Amino acid sequence: MDARTRGGGPSRWLLGVTALLGGCAWNAPQTSLVPRSDFARAILHVYAIITWAALGIATVVVVALVVIFVRFRSREGAPLPRQVRGHTLLEMSWTIAPALVLLVIAVPTIQVIFRTQGQVSGALEVVVRGRQWWWEFAYPSLGVVTANEAHLPAGRAVSLRLEGPDVIHSFWVPQLGGKRDVVPGRVNRLTFTPDTPGEYLGQCAEFCGTSHANMAMRVFVDAPEAFERWIAAQRAPAVEAPGPAAAGKAIFARSACVGCHTIQGVSAGLVGPDLTHVGSRTTIAAGFLPNAKGPLTAWIRDAPALKPGAKMPPLGLSEADASAIADYLLSLK
């Protein structure tokens, strides 16, 4: 075996470097380095303070080590350096200096925490409920409830009321702000002002069970006029298409679906996501699948086969019945 084989060859080195650089993308879909709210910018500012503090500490430590290595390196015939048994100034310095560093980090951190936990006058309140394994978004003042995809108005303060009906989750949309736990029996708040329209990806950041990794969300920040149009569409009765969708509605109404899901005018289940306007969403199963005919039909037939641990049981529907229900749900715009 030659040296090139033992080392893996240039191709393996190239692959390793490529993989390393691939993880250094500045503007990845869930980056925290491109803030799109006041909260996210405040967190990035705190990170910058911590980074500069860490670099300063590293510089002092490295310089001190280099000086020690050079000055006190072993020399043939050199006498033993003077032994210091105690040094009051040095000991005080390495006690006070870390305390000062922690103070510099703690003050802005605590300020951001308190500023983003309070209620702001005129803020839009959104109740966020983390469930295994999907997200519910309710707008109490607007009479709208949706799932897994939230819409927020750009330029207006938003106050998220975080509730946990089952286990501990953690709400995290990196470009809009830091993580905030969703705890059963406790109400946490997260207040921020999104400033740039766009689609922002988020996910649960607290291990919550089998499909924790599949508990994603999308937050759409809309221009004020677009947000008002979205609210109006969500409050309006769902428009159903004729044909296969009508047959799917009848199958939905007589199946177990009505026991878990709400569709205004059809059912009032509270266990699963509200499906009144599910056809207007881009994904299903908490961002796990695209909201299209094929994936939706497969999901209706056997959700746990697609998403491990999904609470929606196999319904025993035929392919034709599941397909008809999918047509009906996709028509609910």
Q: Which of 186, 209, 235 corresponds to the end of one domain?
A: 235
- Residues 142, 51: Cα–Cα separation, whole Å: 42
- 215 falls within a domain: yes
Helix residue ranges, H only, 280-318: 293-301, 303-306
Distance CA 281, CA 97 (A): 53
If asked whether residues 54 and 146 sit together in one domain, one would say yes
Q: State which residues form the domain around 168.
A: 30-70+89-235
In a domain, 125, yes or no: yes
Q: Where a domain ends, among 212, 235, 258?
A: 235
The helix/strand count (H/E) of the chain reads as: 9, 14
* pLDDT value of residue 319: 94
Helix (H/G/I), strand (E/B), else coil: 299 = helix
Residues 40 and 127 in one domain: yes
pTM: 0.84
Considering the domain architecture, whether residues 180 and 296 belong to the same structural domain is answered as no
Is residue 78 one of the residues assigned to a domain? no
266: which residues sit within 8 A by CB, 6+ positions away?
Answer: 249, 252, 253, 258
Q: Sign of torsion, CA 193 196 199 200?
A: negative
Q: Do 227 and 302 belong together in one domain?
A: no
CATH number of the domain enclosing 295: 2.60.40.420
Q: Are residues 143 and 178 both part of a single domain?
A: yes
- pLDDT per residue of the chain (333 residues) written in tens, 0 to 9: 454 445 556 778 888 777 777 667 677 788 888 999 999 999 999 999 999 999 999 999 999 999 989 988 888 888 887 887 888 898 898 899 999 999 999 999 999 888 888 778 889 999 999 999 999 999 999 999 999 999 999 999 999 999 999 999 999 999 998 899 999 999 999 999 999 999 999 999 999 999 999 999 999 999 999 999 999 999 998 777 778 889 999 999 999 999 999 999 898 888 999 999 999 999 999 999 999 999 999 999 999 999 999 999 998 899 999 999 999 999 998
Tell me what pLDDT residue 113 has.
Answer: 87
CA-closest candidate to residue 173, choices 152, 204, 147:
204
Q: Has residue 122 been placed in a domain?
A: yes
Shared domain for 54 and 195, answered yes or no, is yes
